[in-house]
């Protein structure tokens, strides 16, 4: 007991010596101060550096157009693209609405189908062995090769685009969620069995929470792929003038040599993809915050 009290007293004296100066001034550990400074610089650089590089790239783009006297129908200046984005906002944003409709509908169906099939595969190994290879075949087949068949068998134009975008976004959710459901700690599974938990209780209380980080990772991937799938499907369908999404506006601008509108539509698609990724990342952090290691690391 005396040894413990003496050790505690020594630790307290050491802490006082580190944090207090004889003149009652607080002494900051140089190593800790350097760590805090590096963390602050990292937080600032995470946003400042990409913005700086983007600004330099835009400036270089503008100077290349001016110095080489490139015609606007080949490569417009950034200012012309921004002006076109505002001037043609009614056309472009109406087309964006059509593209977003296909994107979010396909993403929702991919979530329902991917999670549902993942649960089915987890509950039955025979089902997984039987049907998972077909999902792999569907994923690795280019969508531009599948669309002619879809065009023959599906009459509704929206259904065609939705099916194409769903095929692209479906597999990441299916594979990630299946991996998460199959990656549960075996010791916890044995504990549930010892306590007499049923298969569905184990699924609801153990496997689904454990698979949540995997599902959210697949969701972030599928969010961007659903937008890509919608645009690609619109490109294929829009070549015949049947689509009214952003891809058809790009094709139309290309035919008319309206490069500013073409670049404006491309920037709108890129910005939309970035927003989708950021929103899904925020949702993932909110759901995992406080209990999963990937979210806890961001808090320090």
Domains of the chain: which residue ranges?
2-67, 78-299
Residue 23 pLDDT class (50, 70, 90 cuts): low
- pLDDT of 148 reads 85
Query: Is residue 207 within 8 Å of residue 197, measured between CB atoms?
Result: no
pLDDT at 300: 44
At 8 the pLDDT is: 47
Query: What pLDDT was estimated at residue 297?
Result: 54
User: 78-299 sits in which CATH class?
Assistant: mainly alpha
Angstrom distance (rounded) from CA 167 to CA 158: 14
**19-28, 102-111, 201-210: lowest mean pLDDT where?**
19-28
> pLDDT by residue (tens digit) across 179-224?
999 988 889 999 999 999 888 899 999 999 999 999 999 999 999 9
Q: What average pLDDT does the segment 64-69 reach? A: 93
User: How high is the pLDDT of residue 295?
Assistant: 64
What integer pLDDT is reported at residue 33 of this predicted model?
76
pLDDT for the residue numbered 138 = 84
Q: What is the mean pLDDT of the chain?
A: 84
Average of per-residue pLDDT across 36-58: 86
pLDDT value for 26 = 52
110-122 average pLDDT score: 93
Judge whether residue 249 has pLDDT over 70. yes
Instruction: Tell me how far the alpha carbon of residue 135 is from its chain's centroid.
Output: 21
Give percent of the chain above pLDDT 70.
Answer: 85
Whether the predicted pLDDT of 20 surpasses 70 = no
pLDDT beyond 50 at 113:
yes
Whether the per-residue pLDDT at 273 is higher than 70: the answer is yes
**Would you put residue 70 in left (φ > 0), alpha (ψ -120 to 50) or beta?**
beta
What angle (nearest 5°) sits at the alpha carbon of residue 130, between those of residues 109 and 176?
Answer: 45
Using pLDDT thresholds of 50, 70 and 90, give the confidence band for residue 27: low
What's the pTM value of the predicted model, to 2 decimals? Answer: 0.80
**Lowest-pLDDT choice from 51-60, 86-95, 161-170, 243-252:** 243-252
């Amino acid at each position: 007991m005396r040894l413990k009290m003496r050790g505690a007293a020594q630790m307290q004296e050491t802490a006082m010596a580190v944090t207090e100066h004889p003149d009652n001034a607080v002494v900051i550990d140089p190593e800790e101060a350097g760590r805090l400074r590096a963390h602050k610089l990292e937080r600032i650089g995470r946003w400042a550096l990409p913005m700086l590089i983007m600004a330099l790239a835009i400036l270089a783009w503008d100077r290349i157009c001016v110095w080489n006297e490139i015609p606007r129908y080949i490569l417009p200046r950034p200012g012309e693209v921004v002006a076109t984005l505002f001037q043609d906002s009614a056309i472009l944003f109406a087309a964006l609405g059509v593209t977003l409709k296909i994107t979010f509908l396909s993403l929702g169906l991919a979530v329902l189908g991917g999670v549902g099939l993942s649960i089915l595969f987890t509950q039955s190994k025979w089902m997984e062995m039987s049907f998972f290879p077909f999902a792999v075949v569907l994923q690795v087949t280019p969508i531009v090769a599948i669309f002619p068949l879809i065009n023959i068998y599906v009459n509704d134009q929206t259904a065609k685009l939705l099916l194409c975008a769903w095929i692209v976004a479906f597999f990441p959710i299916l594979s990630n969620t299946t991996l998460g459901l199959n990656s549960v700690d075996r010791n916890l599974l044995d504990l549930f069995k010892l306590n007499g938990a049923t298969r569905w209780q184990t699924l609801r209380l153990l496997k689904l929470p454990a698979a949540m980080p995997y599902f959210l990772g697949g969701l972030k991937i599928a969010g961007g792929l659903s937008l890509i799938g919608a645009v690609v499907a619109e490109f294929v369908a829009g070549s015949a003038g049947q689509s009214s999404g952003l891809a058809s506006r790009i094709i139309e601008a290309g035919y008319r040599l309206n490069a500013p509108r073409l670049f404006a539509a491309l920037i709108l698609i890129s910005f939309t993809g970035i927003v989708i990724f950021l929103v899904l990342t925020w949702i993932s952090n909110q759901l995992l915050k406080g209990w999963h290691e990937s979210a806890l690391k961001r808090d320090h």
